[in-house]
Amino acid sequence: MTARVTTTSTAVEADPAARLGITQQIAAFIEVLLLGLWLGSMMFFSFAVAPSAFAVLPTRELAGMLVTSTISKVGVLGLVIGPLLILIKAGSWNVTHSSKRVRILQLLLIVVMIAAAALSRFWISPALVSLRAAMGGHIDDVPATDPLRIQFNDLHQYSVGLMSAAMISGLLVLFLTVRSWLKR
C-alpha cells in the first residue's frame, strides 16, 4: 500500500496542473487564452491580413482602408484584453513560483503591449487617416518627397515598430507565463 501512495504522489508531482487548484487552473487557462487571442490577432494581422490586402485588392487605397479598419479592431482587442491580463496576473501574484522580478517584468511587458495598442489606436491610425485625406486619398500619386507623404511613411514605420514591440512583448509574456506554470 505504501508503494501505491508513493506512485500516486510521484504522479502528482510530475503533473504541474495537478498541483493547482481548480480556480488557479481556470485562471491559468483564461490567461493563456486571452494572451493567445491578442498575440494571435496581432500576428495574423501582420503576416496575413496586411500583406494579403495589398496583394489582392484592386487599389492600394482599398487595401489601406481595410488595413486601417482591421488594425483598429486589433487595438480595441488589446485595450480590453490587456487590463484583464493585469487583473489575472495580480490575482495570481502569491500563487506563482516566479520571482518577484519576473512577475514585475511580465506586468511591464503587458503595459508595453497596452501602450502600443493605445498609441496605435488613438494617435497613429487617426493621423494616418488624416494624412491620407489631406493627400486626396491617392497616396501613390503623391511624390515621395512631399512633406505629407514623408510624414505618412514615418508614421507607418512607427506603427510597424509598435506592433513589433507588442508582439515581442507578448511572446516574452507567454514564455514567462508557461515557464512559471511548470514551476508550480
What's the domain range around 66? Answer: 22-183
| pLDDT of 116 strictly over 90 | yes
118 part of a folded domain: yes
Q: What is the mean pLDDT of the chain?
A: 88
Please report whether residue 1 resides in a domain: no
Residue 100 lies in a domain: yes
- Total domains present in the chain: 1
Res. 6: pLDDT tops 50:
no
In a domain, residue 11? The reply is no
In a domain, 15, yes or no: no
Question: What pLDDT does residue 7 have?
Answer: 47
Domain assignment of residue 5, yes or no: no
109 falls within a domain = yes
Q: Output the CA–CA distances (angstroms, integers) from residue 84 to 21, 60, 80, 88, 163, in the order listed.
A: 20, 36, 7, 6, 20
Q: List pLDDT tens digits, range 12-31.
A: 455 555 566 888 888 889 99
